[in-house]
Structure 1
């Protein structure tokens, strides 16, 4: 009876451990890893316990084992979600210097949250008493139904979004051209985010150094400054490739030396800035490597007759030995032939499962009709225990994947991040809390799709309670109505109804959910240039992202765009060919090798800020809004040159994009110059902002203004 359950438990444990190792940051403490792992294990235990519960209910083989495991997993998940995980999450997010202070901060924040939730629950209880005067039932079951109502309703819409997005996304990403366009946009956007995170981290270091210099040795806050100083030194020691530059002071950045709470805020700011920088650097590296591997795949497929069906990588060392050519051929067959066909087959299978789930959800309301393919399959396999449980587990697992896919995609835009090997403790705890909250509602929703003979209820349904009792405002049968609403929502989403409505009302675009289709209209010229430079740097032995920081600060001045359907190689050659006629500048940034050098740099920055204190507020705001353009002394002269510059650059870009100006170099010469050039990306984009060569006759001073 529990054979499938006991087989799945060790597999679930192994999956949880591997997932934690893959996503968790090296700085995550062991107690956080244990808490997250145990929460995930309990959540997935609920999912693998559902098939065993269905088997025992169909054939009447009730035992105390199922009831015991349900109580253990459900209440463990409940306590972890509402008590343990929020407390540890607040403790990890606090910036206080002692364990007691961090625990107090966590309890205070959670107390405020629980008071808000308790107030809402009290209002709901009052409304329930008003609308259900003659109600009599299980109080515990009613409480469980109330706690899961939010997960049932919102989980249905998350499920609908995932049912349509996962198969559609797999089908679109099979197309190499579509995926290349998306990656070019992602690389360009992530480069800008990485630069912003780099500047924020640099600013946090500058502020920390300035604050430490303000506090004397006899100040009561000196012990806290020593802790921050050690943290700062450890950060720079763990990441010697980080080069602080571009740090700036904000309006209230010199107010951290007032008390220990402000010092705790400074410590928290340092931690968050470093985590954000590491996260964006990891995401940028993954996007760049994926794009470069995709370019290699396309190139090898086009030259398969020349290479003899062997995969030749431009970013990995060549295989040697007797088995080297055989492995190259196997890699070619996998990347260029088999993988694409398997992804298409997977999309078709997942699309059929999604359609079957929607059909089952849509036919819950009719009482005498059973059109659920899963219910028919489970009831038709007879008394074969393993087949019954496998037939129940596969669609339930897919429903969980769809729900968690939507949950992570929405949550990563607002609340947390899920990055391989760079996910912080706070993000891991928040994610495990979300997973635990939605595991029981997903299981309950799946049980509604199964028609058990004689309308028998599973043990889990009895313990969960009836959602009709939790939401009496909609009348009896609400648990059969809300899935139908989800089906309608999913069909509207598949037909892009919401996007069309938002596009029709242009002012509503702020509510539009960003997806891959928005990045597939054409190649991003900035992303293509970044990929070309990263490939050249990799061939020289550098790491991905090692020289990317000075680049993204000039993206806002780029006006060259690549239209949909254009040849991306020719367009990139046109852009880079214009840059190749200038002599390269030496812009190598020296590494900061000691804390004394950083201190001197930050001290000079602080002195410069003090000298500029007499400037007007508008001047300060304008100087901080432009990251790499120096403001001239004369505003009139500056505005004149800015207008001339933008007009000439726009005119020149339009002419070159539309092929009115001849290219100065062929595509082969351009690509070879990219690979052999020692120019930095900062130089390239500085030249992109300059007009044509004729403007150099105006003199060196005018050239500096561009």
Structure 2
């Protein structure tokens, strides 16, 4: 019972961690229950290797045959679940989520069309592997599943060596850098500047998409009830899921000439509306993620700013004004004690990383002599027959390896397709993260067994159940020898990462602009090198956010971007800060509601008047704007906010009713009831 008690405790911990990650990262309003379940299960099966490896290894060291059947079943469930999730289930759901079709069958067909290239490539590689094994005379019907496992595991091992090596270097390095608040403040200002640029682009795209939805919906005739129903469904989707509900924009006027030609290239048929719905999905997801990133970075930069001021003045009072002893003790810990704790942790993690790299480099020696400190400690404790201590000793280094590898995945995905944003990550990114974690769980576990020298026969010449499942010994070229010599590459790889050899060489032989073009900052080996332009933009953003908060606004309103202001200005165009537009960051050029040039062609939606429908027409240059490089809003009025009350006093209510006629009503906040669970 003690043997599986450790497994049960680890699985409960893994389940709780999966739930905590979902609560932290998943968008609570835009991620369906099905996606949450699939992503959570993929994370759980990935983390289950930390619980299964110690149980399997300990029973093998004891030489007992009592629990082999149970362990075999658990390994098969875990391994084949990760394979099914990676190659079939998650890709299909991802394609379904991306599809803009209005029917379940249409979304499934769209998902299949997106995946056919992927499955063809996988099939070609599988056929090539089968032909290779047949040429060597190793292909048999009973060994075909083992060959499939091998082909999958070989690719996984190559990726694991790269990701694990990067994480073993970067985890201690990042921990060490965090111990210097002043330099971290500079880095976070850089991140704020980059996030502001991305948020501005996302805001523009969201504004364009909502404008196109309104215009396209107006063009669909009510004489065609089927098409009108589809158009109303599109409007309802955009209104429910968008941070800026369409009802808040219904009384505005859309500046058609400000749109690009391809923005209006959507046919008024089912296929065209489906394409538009897919674009709206992506625009909403990008805006919500960019907004979450920006607010997170601004919060962190403001906290570091306060910490640096407290350290400089020697006065450790919380910036929020709390005077309780708990708040004061916590703030003093952040300012004085935490940097030393982080430095000690960085040194400890660096030693652990060096030990793991040494164990990887000496895999070829096996146990004669045994040069792995982890192997020596584990085999010694197994002799003492102490289940809990031995399994804990096996699990802890594996847990650190998982942390290092998953850290690499998350960091290299920063600002990428599978970037995770607290409470703002949409379904596709959650599923992709789950797929990647599930994909590399088994190869990482198999590599770790080489680190602790558990791949050979132990007492009674019995192999571990997981080693037999991998069955790497019976395949030519890519058999057991591949897992012995290939990890040696990690030694050179880690040295290159540690001393930034590639960065130094690239800086010598290439000019800096070429290096930036060929190698994005997030993929550079020393990626935490702030750029002056981003730092300056970040400083302006922080100053604007401080000003917005002091003026009674909320964090994020300093950008004055579409979708960021949370209140409606009932003033004439050009009056008040709500009318200004963000053009390249706080402190940059802003405009009121006018632009230079002739009157612009506009389409008025509805007949309601009121301040919400104020026109943007102007013959002159707006005061305060240079008259150049000023991006004008597509909508009249000041409907640039994140929330919209269920009922308002603006005169555009009739226009809103007209726009949403036949849609079935709207809700100011997204609701799960009545939604397709696959959305």
TM-score by length of 1: 0.75
Offset at 1:504?
Answer: 2.4
Distance change (3 Å), C-alpha of 1:208 and 1:366: same
What corresponds to 2:276 in structure 1?
266
State the Cα distance separating 1:477 from its structure 2 match. Answer: 1.2
Q: How far apart in 2 are the matches of 1:542 and 1:607?
A: 29
- Partner in structure 2 of residue 364 of structure 1: 363
SS in structure 1 of the partner of residue 262 of structure 2: coil
CA drift at 1:474: 6.3
Q: Which of 470, 493, 496 does residue 492 from structure 1 map onto?
A: 496
CA contact (8 A) 1:90 1:110 kept: yes
Q: Give the CA deviation at 1:599.
A: 12
Deviation at 1:162, TM superposition (A): 0.7
Of 264, 276, 291, which residue of structure 2 is paired with 1:281? 291
Unaligned runs of 5+ in 2: 562-579, 595-603, 619-627, 633-679
Partner of 1:201: 206
For the residue of structure 2 that corresponds to 1:95, the secondary structure is: coil
Change (3 A) 1:237 1:175: closer
Write out aligned runs for 1:400-439 (5 A). Answer: 400-439=402-441
The aligned counterpart of 2:555 is 544
Change in CA separation of 1:586 and 1:503 when aligned onto 2, cut-off 3 Å:
closer
- 1:627 Cα offset (Å): 4.7
Q: Which residue of 2 aligns with 1:34?
A: 37
CA distance change for structure 1 residues 193 and 159 in 2, over 3 Å: closer, same or farther?
same
Q: Deviations over 1:71-121 (max 9, x none)?
A: 222222222222222222211111100122112222333344212210221
SS at match of 1:477: helix
Partner SS state of residue 174, structure 1? coil
In the alignment, the residues of structure 2 paired with residue 518 and residue 241 of structure 1 have an alpha-carbon distance, to the nearest angstrom, of: 44
Aligned residue number for residue 684 of structure 1: none
CA contact (8 A) 2:7 2:52 kept: yes
Q: What is residue 262 of structure 2 aligned with on the other side?
A: 252
Tell me whether 1:312 sits opposite 2:318 in the alignment: yes
Note closer, same or farther for the CA distance 1:79–1:160 as it changes in structure 2 (3 Å cut): same
Aligned residue in 2 for 1:617: none
- Looking at structure 2, the residues matched to 200 and 488 of structure 1 have their Cα atoms a distance apart, in angstroms, of 44
Alpha carbons 2:90, 2:431 under 8 Å: kept: yes
What is the TM-score normalised by the length of structure 2? 0.77
What SS does the aligned partner of 2:15 have?
helix
Counterparts of 2:195 and 2:14, CA distance in 1: 34
Superposition deviation, residue 61 in structure 1: 1.9
Q: Is the 8 Å Cα contact of residues 133 and 139 (structure 2) preserved in structure 1? A: no
- Give the SS at the match of 1:96: coil
Query: Are residues 1:45 and 2:48 paired?
Result: yes
Would you say 1:133 and 2:137 are equivalent positions? yes
Please state if 1:334 is matched with 2:344: no
- Per-residue deviation, residues 412-471 of structure 1 (Å, max 9, x unmatched): 4443221110111111111111111111011000001112446752110110121x655x
Structure 1 residues 578-627: Cα deviation after superposition (integer angstroms, max 9, x where no partner): x9xxxx999599xxxx985999999999999xxxxxxxxxxxxxxxxx85
Rounded Cα–Cα distance in structure 1 between residues aligned with 2:416 and 2:361? 32
Question: 1-side partners of 2:613 and 2:467: how far apart?
Answer: 66
Partner of residue 378, structure 2: 378
Are the aligned partners of 2:45 and 2:81 in contact in 1 as well (CA < 8 Å)? yes
Name the SS for the 2:64 alignment partner.
coil
In the aligned structure 2, how far is the partner of 1:356 from the partner of 1:205?
55
Assess if the C-alpha contact under 8 Å between 2:239 and 2:246 holds in 1.
no
Is residue 184 of structure 2 the alignment partner of residue 185 of structure 1?
Answer: no
Q: Is the 8 A contact 1:51 1:390 kept in 2?
A: yes
Compared CA separation, residues 500 and 241, structure 1 to 2 (3 A): farther
Cα 1:463–1:553 change in 2 (3 A) is same
CA separation of 1:226/1:349 partners in 2, compared to 1, >3 Å: closer, same or farther? same
Q: Which runs of 5+ in 1 are unaligned?
A: 559-575, 609-625, 631-706
State how far apart, in whole Å, the 1-side matches of 2:408 and 2:490 are.
14
Equivalent of 1:79 in 84, 102, 117: 84
SS at match of 2:264: coil
How many corresponding residue pairs? 571
The answer on whether the counterparts of 2:95 and 2:111 sit within 8 Å (CA) in structure 1 is yes
Task: Verify the 8 A CA contact 1:13 1:41 in the aligned structure 2.
Answer: yes
Partner of 2:392: 390
- The 2-side partners of 1:260 and 1:391 are apart by 60
Match for residue 302 of structure 1 among 292, 306, 312: 312
| Residues 169 and 353, structure 2, Cα contact 8 Å, conserved in 1 | yes
Out of 35-44 and 218-227, give the one that drifted further: 218-227
Matches of 2:350 and 2:202, distance apart in 1: 39
Give the conservation status (yes or no) of the 8 Å contact 1:148–1:440: yes
- 1:153 is the counterpart of 2:158: yes
- Alpha-carbon distance, 1:286 to partner: 0.8
Q: Does 1:457 align with 2:463?
A: yes
Q: 1-side partners of 2:541 and 2:92: how far apart?
A: 43
Displacement, 1:540?
3.1
After TM superposition, give the deviation of residue 539 of structure 1 in Å: 2.9
Q: 1:331 to 1:150 in 2, by over 3 A?
A: same
Distance 2:81 2:479 in 1: 32
Q: Using the TM superposition, give the Cα deviation of residue 267 of structure 1 relative to its aligned residue in structure 2, in angstroms.
A: 0.6
- How far apart are 1:168 and its partner, in Å? 0.8
CA distance in 1, matches of 2:607, 2:168: 55
Does residue 533 of the first structure (1) align with residue 544 of the second (2)? yes
Structure with a larger share of its residues in helix: 1
Give how far 1:364 is off.
0.7
Q: What CA deviation, in whole Å up to 9, does each residue of 1:652-698 have, x standing for no partner? A: xxxxxxxxxxxxxxxxxxxxxxxxxxxxxxxxxxxxxxxxxxxxxxx
Structure of greater relative contact order (alpha carbons < 8 Å, 6+ residues apart): 2
